[in-house]
Amino acid sequence: MDAIYPTSNLFLSASLIISFFILPTAAAAPNSQLSSGQPLVDGATLISSDGIFELGFFSPGSSTNRYVGIWYHSFSAAAVLWVANRDSPLLDTLGSLTIARDGNLVILNGHKAVVWSSKVASLPSNETIAELLDTGNLVLNNSDATVWQSFDNPGDTYLPGMKVGLDLVTNVNQVFTSWRSNDDPAPGNFTLGIAPDQSTQFFIWEGDKPRWRSGRWNGQVFLGIQNMVTTYIDGFKLSDFQREKKLYFYYTRSNISHRYILMPDGVDRHLIWANNTNNWQQLWAQPNTQCEIYNRCGNNATCTDSTDGKSPTCSCLKGFESDNYGKAIGRCMRRKPLQCETNNGSTAGNSDRFYLIKGMKLPDLSYWDLDPTNDTQCKEACMKNCSCKAYSYQAGIGCLTWGRELVDIHMFSSGGNDFYLRLAGSEFGTNTMLSDHLL
């Protein structure tokens, strides 16, 4: 998901990205582990063995509520990376984190009532140890086997070593969820995860509606992210999901200070800590323009960002026209029916043809055809199938075809993909400009 943009806003101060947190001032616990019978009280902390990560109680922003969370111990304590009791805050400083009799990691309030639990099967508590690892992962081990870990229960932050994605057997989608606000870590309105249709795309959803998508992964970059370069994506790897039945993106980097955070406003930011400025540097953010908002211009229409930052330009695709007669874009409807739909394409010299559009973020809802092995075969397969309305052959993926409405099309100012749109032959006529794109 990494990309570098030559804008003047790449560097954000920590005060713009995160709010300040009220953190404990008591001396840190001397180790990274929590054993049965040794509760961690409010004011004490665990620190990972390399001294990078810390776990303890905190209050976010202007709130006085208390939560158990993980933050950077070594350079940026204000960046809370994970919260246990997101929607079950403690109202005072009398809480504790401990291992219960059934072996679960639990948070207790001042009355010793459980407000949060790891919810694993009952285990011998004397064989259970919680440990904060050097990766920032909080693990619960029983007889040296990990039975629960925070990396499998993510919040709003994606760290190196984590995975996000879909279990194709159980259909469990492991997603990231924004905070409600900078003062409230309760689950907010936005989630980030992998598309359930197995299209290898990242999505940000607002509620149950798509807000942004990355485009398909081609093994090196996400096709829907403009000017994405492979040198900045060297941490992502897609699982062999057809064999493993798990569609996961794994993220690994040697620099542990990298993180992605899904902000309360629905923007996903890639940040890295810069020691020379003691500040957060933004490497990437999406959505960043109006055209990056999902299907901003509607079906069968393209979205082009304005150069002055004002409203984008919406235009119907070639061969489509607005049903609103120029007052607004309205709905983009096909101007002339495809020949294959009217007479099986038998009109002499006027059968369906393909029109090339360059520099595009490919539409959503594509079908991955495994049979064609090159562009020519992909074109032929689409032409033989009247329900195929467009195609694009992409290195690293193969033949993509579209049989439904064409949605979420962004015209890039540079880069982008070739897209072949099926039109009735009569759309071309004798127009030489169209013939330049005729296939």
Sketch out the chain's domains with CATH numbers.
14-288 (2.90.10.10), 292-435 (no CATH)
At 351, is the pLDDT very low, low, confident or very high (cuts 50, 70, 90)?
Answer: confident
Lowest mean pLDDT among 21-25, 172-176, 350-354: 21-25
> CA geometry: angle at 408 spanning 158 and 379, to 5°?
110
Instruction: Give the model confidence (pLDDT) of 367-411 as tens digits.
Output: 999 999 999 999 999 999 999 999 999 999 999 999 999 999 999
Per-residue pLDDT band for 74 (boundaries 50, 70, 90) equals confident
Does the structure show a pLDDT above 80 at 2? no
Task: Tell me which residue of 215, 197, 216, 194 sits closest to 205, measured CA to CA.
Answer: 194
pLDDT category, 213, cuts 50, 70, 90? very high
User: Which of residues 367 and 331 earns the better pLDDT score?
Assistant: 367
Q: Is the pLDDT of residue 49 over 90?
A: yes
Instruction: With cut-offs at 50, 70 and 90, classify the pLDDT of residue 435.
Output: very low
Confidence of residue 9 (pLDDT cuts 50, 70, 90): very low
For residue 242, what are its two tokens?
């057809």
DSSP β-ladder status, 138-142 and 128-132: antiparallel
Q: What local confidence, expressed as pLDDT, does residue 395 receive?
A: 93
Whether 23 shows a pLDDT value over 50: the answer reads no
Q: Average pLDDT, stretch 96-119?
A: 96
Alpha carbon of residue 300 to chain centroid: 25
How far is Cα 337 from Cα 426, in angstroms, rounded to an integer? 10
- What is d(CA 316, CA 325) in angstroms, rounded to the nearest whole number? 12
Q: Flag whether pLDDT at 359 surpasses 90.
A: yes
Residue with token string 């404990």:
24
Question: ∠294-300-301 over CA atoms, to 5°?
Answer: 65
Q: What is the mean pLDDT of residues 105-126?
A: 92
Check pLDDT > 70 for residue 189.
yes
By C-alpha distance, which of 337, 168, 180 is closest to 262? 180
Q: Tokens representing 64?
A: 């006085």
Model confidence at 232, pLDDT cuts 50, 70, 90, reads: low
Please tell me the pTM assigned to this model. Answer: 0.86
Q: What is the pLDDT of the chain when averaged over all its residues?
A: 86
- Paired strand residues for 205: 191, 210
pLDDT above 70: residue 123? yes
Q: What angle do CA 221, 222, 224 make, to 5 degrees?
A: 135
Q: Is the pLDDT of residue 64 over 70?
A: yes
DSSP state of 389: -
pLDDT in tens, 306-325: 887 678 999 999 999 987 75
Output the pLDDT for position 322.
87
pLDDT of 57 higher than 60: yes
Nearest to 271 by CA among 260, 262, 263, 256: 260
Look at residue 350 in the predicted model and tell me its pLDDT. 64
**H or E element at residue 376:** helix 375-384
Number of neighbouring beta carbons within 10 Å of residue 207: 8
Q: So what's the pLDDT on residue 271?
A: 92
Which residues lie below 8 Å from residue 107, measured CB to CB, with a gap of 6+? 68, 84, 85, 88, 90, 95, 96, 97, 114, 115, 116, 117
- Per-residue pLDDT for 13 more than 50? no
Question: Which of the pair, 350 or 218, is modelled with greater confidence?
Answer: 218
Beta-bridge partner residues of 247 = 166
Q: pLDDT value at position 19?
A: 36
Contacts of 7 (CB under 8 A, 6+ apart): none
Task: Report pLDDT for 371.
Answer: 94
Assess whether the previous peptide bond of 337 is cis (omega < 30° from 0): no
Phi, psi of 406 (to 5 degrees): -95, 115
Give 6's contacts (C-beta < 8 A, 6+ positions apart): none
Report pLDDT for 329. Answer: 56
Q: What is the pLDDT of residues 299-309, one digit of tens each?
A: 999 999 988 76
pLDDT over threshold 60, residue 224 = yes
